[in-house]
């Protein structure tokens, strides 16, 4: 198995209640707060939505790092961490599409990839295998957060405050949209890597089943029939 694939730790000595997991759950709890603020039609709410998103993104930066450095990696963290990431980023893309900063086809493609990989993880989890984020998935999440953070800043508010020119605001929005394009490409690429990994796991499991069946048949004692003539053999007296 690769580094991001492991068996379920049914008797792990690491407590589920630890700081990395608390940070992960905090990120998940912040998602509805972020959505509610992002749906409000006021600059104050939009700024607060950006702040909440930034705080949630910071927890994503530290939970995995702390879990590895402190030896507090748990199946709970491996499973919930990517779910919290997807909930945060998907809600961010939906909000930006609602606000007109991103086309809906970008959000739909990302949502299909994220939900599909989540379903694949659930499929293997039921078979006792935990598929956590690989390097491509981590890079994808990082780029999504950078793109979302850039676009969630209410740049148009600077126009009302007369503290920035319209050209400068347009440049920043276009930069965020370009970063979203890069994030989309990484999202699709990492999705293909997970699918390839899932196919390999299925193939390995099938091969192990066949090998186990062959070994079982090989260990069966040969039954010999005494006093009987093999079928098709003629005996002369």
Instruction: List the helix and strand counts (H, then E) for the chain.
Output: 7, 2
Per-domain boundaries in the chain: 16-211
Between residues 100 and 2, which one has the greater pLDDT?
100
Mean pLDDT lowest for which of 6-10, 151-155, 179-183, 221-225? 221-225
Residue 235 has pLDDT above 80, yes or no: no
Q: Among 58-67, 110-119, 167-176, where is mean pLDDT lowest? A: 58-67
- For residue 35, CA distances in Å to 32, 52, 153 come to 5, 10, 14
pLDDT at residue 189 is higher than 90: yes
* Cβ-Cβ contacts under 8 Å for 190 (sequence gap 6 or more): 134, 136, 137, 139, 140
Residue 8 has pLDDT above 70, yes or no: no
Tens of pLDDT along 133-158?
778 888 998 999 999 999 999 998 88
* Predicted model pTM: 0.79
Domain 16-211 class, CATH top level: mainly alpha
Q: What is the pLDDT of residues 29-51, one digit of tens each?
A: 999 999 999 999 999 999 999 99
Residue 234 has pLDDT above 50, yes or no: no
The Cα–Cα gap between 98 and 110 comes to 15
Q: What is the pLDDT of residue 135?
A: 86
Q: What is the pLDDT of residues 49-99, one digit of tens each?
A: 999 999 999 998 888 888 888 888 888 888 888 889 999 999 999 999 999
Tens of pLDDT, residue by residue over 201-215, are: 888 777 765 555 555
> From CA 53, how far away is CA 233, in angstroms rounded?
82
* Contact status, residue 183 vs residue 144, Cβ threshold 8 Å: yes
């Amino acid at each position: 198995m690769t580094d991001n694939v492991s068996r379920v730790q049914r008797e792990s000595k690491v407590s589920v209640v630890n700081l990395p997991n608390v940070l992960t759950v905090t990120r998940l709890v912040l998602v509805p707060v972020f959505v509610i603020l992002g749906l409000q039609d006021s600059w104050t709410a939009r700024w607060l939505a950006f702040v909440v998103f930034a705080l949630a993104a910071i927890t994503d930066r530290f939970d995995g790092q702390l879990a590895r450095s402190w030896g507090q990696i748990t199946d709970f963290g491996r499973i919930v961490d990517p779910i919290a990431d997807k909930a945060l980023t998907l809600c961010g893309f939906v909000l930006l599409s609602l606000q007109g900063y991103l086309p809906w086809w970008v959000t739909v493609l990302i949502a299909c990839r994220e939900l599909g990989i989540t379903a694949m993880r659930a499929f293997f989890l039921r078979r006792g295998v935990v598929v956590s984020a690989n390097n491509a998935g981590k890079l994808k999440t990082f780029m999504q957060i950078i793109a979302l953070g850039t676009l969630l800043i209410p740049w148009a508010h600077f126009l009302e405050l007369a503290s920035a020119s319209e050209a400068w605001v347009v440049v920043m929005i276009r930069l965020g949209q370009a970063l979203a394009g890069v994030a989309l490409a990484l999202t699709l690429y990492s999705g293909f890597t997970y699918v390839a990994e899932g196919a390999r796991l299925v193939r390995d499991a099938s091969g192990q089943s066949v090998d186990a069946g062959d070994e079982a048949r090989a260990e069966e004692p040969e039954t010999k029939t005494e006093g009987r003539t093999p079928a098709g053999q003629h005996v002369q007296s």
